[in-house]
Amino acid sequence: MATAALTIPRPDDWHLHLRDGAPMRAVVGHTAAVFGRAIVMPNLRPPVETVAQAEAYRARILEALPAGSRFEPLMTLYLTPRTTAEEVARAAASPHVHGIKLYPAGATTNSDAGVADLGGIEAVLAAMEEHDLPLLVHGESIEPGIDVFDREAVFVERQLAPLCERFPRLRVVLEHITTADAVEFVLGAPPTVAATITPQHLLLDRNALFDGGIRPHHWCLPVLKRRRHREALLRAVASGSPKLFLGTDSAPHEVGTKHAACGCAGIFSAPLALPLYAEAFEEAGALHALEGFASRHGPAFYRLPVATETVTLRREPWSVSASYPFGEGHVVPLRAGGTVAWRVESAP
């Protein structure tokens, strides 16, 4: 008989975009209702480059939380060509900063301030290795002429593998992996290398971008891949590997900027992310592996305690809203207007 309920330690989201200002205040509660902690991405405009900026951003997030929430934002810095070894030392000394994010310049939304030449950040990477501060990586090649569907595999081979060899003690999270190539690399790498996986890359392949017409709410970076890559991701999470953990990459955009001639990349999944993962794990025949992925592997990698509170997932279909308020406008979630097979019930 199919499992009817599943109770796990309160999960964390190890890759989240909260934005800032009124949009942030509109979405943070969706994450805080389910997740205990989240690694908050620094790709604001302007980017979160310093510990001082991360502390100020953290304070704004805490202030926006619903009364009584114990949600903990785990902050990150945005690595730019200007980042110094001194800032790395300050970040490592801060109890609130948990990693530094590497965006190849131009690879994704708000990544223009990122790094074009990895050769230029050796001193910063050495300092991160020295201070044992994790490097979080958007792993897509920005070499001109590389097909958008190949950018992750090319980055892994040409940039990431050499980087991990050059800094063998540096802890690295390859964010939002989407390909069999990335799975193979991460699972074969030393324990210092881990990865996050989004719900959309577990549930959808690239056909979902063109299902009856162009689907802007399935457009994200890295772009959805072929079915065989999705199947490799499902097999990987079903294996229970401690190198893989939950990172929604929930990335809200105002609906008008998605329904546009050149629409923004990013999928908003925060209100339904945990149920979506339950669907994916069930499809993989691996509901038993959800607890490790959602609640245990991330804390072990980031050296934080596993939550003592629990949440319960109940097999009970519910209808997803067509949209949610977002600053002055609205944001359309993944599966808008559809149904999800699992519902989250928080412990009292």
Q: Under the rule (CB under 6 A), what is the footprint of ligand OTD?
A: 17, 43, 108-110, 138, 176, 220-221, 249, 251, 265-266
- What does 298 interact with, of ligand OTD, Zn ion, none (CB < 5 to 8 A by kind)? none
Tell the smallest beta-carbon distance from residue 117 to ligand OTD (Å).
Answer: 20
Among 12, 13, 181, 249, the active-site one is 249
- State which residue, 216 or 292, has the beta carbon closest to ligand OTD: 216
Residues 6+ apart with CB under 8 A from 93: none
Nearest C-alpha neighbor of 15 from the set 160, 182, 198, 171 = 198
- Provide the greatest CA pair distance for the chain: 57
- What does 286 interact with, of ligand OTD, Zn ion, none (CB < 5 to 8 A by kind)? none
- What does 109 interact with, of ligand OTD, Zn ion, none (CB < 5 to 8 A by kind)? ligand OTD
User: Where is 77: in which H helix or E strand?
Assistant: strand 72-78
Residues forming contacts to Zn ion in the complex (CB under 5 A) are 108, 138, 249
- State which residue, 133 or 173, has the beta carbon closest to Zn ion: 173
**What does R_g of the chain's alpha carbons equal in angstroms?**
19
- State which residue, 130 or 254, has the beta carbon closest to Zn ion: 254
DSSP state of 250: B
Tell the smallest beta-carbon distance from residue 66 to Zn ion (Å).
Answer: 24
Tell how strand 310-319 and strand 339-346 pair up: antiparallel
Is 20 known to be catalytic?
no
- State which residue, 138 or 225, has the beta carbon closest to Zn ion: 138
- What does 101 interact with, of Zn ion, ligand OTD, none (CB < 5 to 8 A by kind)? none
- State which residue, 40 or 236, has the beta carbon closest to Zn ion: 40
Tell the smallest beta-carbon distance from residue 140 to ligand OTD (Å).
Answer: 8
Contacts 24+ apart (CB under 8 A), 212-220: 216/258, 216/259, 216/260, 216/263, 217/258, 217/267, 217/268, 217/332, 217/333, 217/334, 217/336, 218/267, 218/334, 219/258, 219/263, 219/265, 219/266, 219/267, 220/249, 220/251, 220/265, 220/266, 220/267
- What does 25 interact with, of Zn ion, ligand OTD, none (CB < 5 to 8 A by kind)? none
Tell the smallest beta-carbon distance from residue 15 to Zn ion (Å).
Answer: 6
In whole angstroms, what is the distance from residue 253 CA to residue 267 CA? 8
Tell the smallest beta-carbon distance from residue 155 to ligand OTD (Å).
Answer: 12
Cα torsion for 129, 156, 198, 200, to the nearest 10°? 170
Give the residue numbers marked as catalytic: 249
